[in-house]
Chain A
Amino acid sequence: NAGVTQTPKFQVLKTGQSMTLQCAQDMNHNSMYWYRQDPGMGLRLIYYSASEGTTDKGEVPNGYNVSRLNKREFSLRLESAAPSQTSVYFCASSKTGTANYGYTFGSGTRLTVV
């Protein structure tokens, strides 16, 4: 009963370094999302994927890229990390269909860029 699994849980990067945040879900959900959470800013959508093979920009996509590798996995890449990308990153997934459903979130990746 894993739900949504994110790796790593913690990461420290130097400015300019790159890294990929991994996310996998085992609930056969169609849609997946990447959010960042900063103090006082709430949850802001970075990128999302409605279904396997599609990705779209959210509210704050600059500095990020994503890959929907298959139905289970959705990764977030920082090509050249900046201190402004210090944040907690959450992956989420949901069913989609004729009705609306809530998200299931992962436990987060706490990223610090120095």
Chain B
Amino acid sequence: GESVGLHLPTLSVQEGDNSIINCAYSNSASDYFIWYKQESGKGPQFIIDIRSNMDKRQGQRVTVLLNKTVKHLSLQIAATQPGDSAVYFCAENPPNDYKLSFGAGTTVTVRA
């Protein structure tokens, strides 16, 4: 699979490979995290979330990993498909604040 060690704005992936998108969050007290997917010309869509009492959560073809020690969040996409081409944003929710803080986003392009 292909991965991004540090946050990079773009990721090119071969169809069928696994993708890993990384995100560094800023507030060590944040207790809720979300990944959003934004396809061209559309609004961001919820993919998966995780609360701070968990290290890992799985959805359909997606897994989110949370490392609170280094304030790092990752999104793994299994068997990447052309429909996975999009911009992916991570978001964190500090405690006592219902507003989300968004990361810069990673553009994922799937190569046929």
Q: Which among B32, B98, B103, B104 has the highest number of chain A CB atoms within 10 Å? A: B98
Q: Which one of B43, B46, B93 contacts A106 once the chains associate, using CB atoms below 8 Å?
A: B43
Q: Within A97-113, which residues are at the interface with B (CB < 8 Å)?
A: 99-108
Contact (Cβ within 8 A) B89 A43: yes
Encoded as 1 (CB less than 8 Å from any A CB) or 0, chain B from 22 to 53 comes to 00000000011010100001111110010100
Please report the C-alpha to C-alpha distance between residue A103 and residue B36 in the assembled complex, in whole angstroms: 10
Interchain pairs with CB closer than 8 A, number: 46
Contact (Cβ within 8 A) A42 B98: no
Question: Nearest Cβ in chain B — how far from A30, in angstroms?
Answer: 9
Among residues of B, the one whose C-beta sits closest to the C-beta of A104 is B46
Please report the C-alpha to C-alpha distance between residue A90 and residue B105 in the assembled complex, in whole angstroms: 16
Asked if A80 lies at the interface with its beta carbon under 8 angstroms from chain B, I say: no
List the interface of chain A (C-beta within 8 A of B): 4, 31, 33, 42-43, 45, 48, 50, 90, 92, 94, 96, 99-108
Q: Which among B43, B46, B89 has the highest number of chain A CB atoms within 10 Å? A: B43
Please report the C-alpha to C-alpha distance between residue A71 and residue B84 in the assembled complex, in whole angstroms: 34
Contact (Cβ within 8 A) B49 A90: no
Seed contacts A102-B91, A106-B43; 5 additional CB < 8 Å A-B pairs: A42-B105, A43-B44, A94-B98, A102-B34, A102-B46
Contact (Cβ within 8 A) A100 B104: no
Contact (Cβ within 8 A) B43 A42: no
Q: Which one of B32, B41, B43, B105 contacts A100 once the chains associate, using CB atoms below 8 Å?
A: B32
Contact (Cβ within 8 A) B43 A108: yes
Contact (Cβ within 8 A) B44 A90: yes
Contact (Cβ within 8 A) B103 A105: no
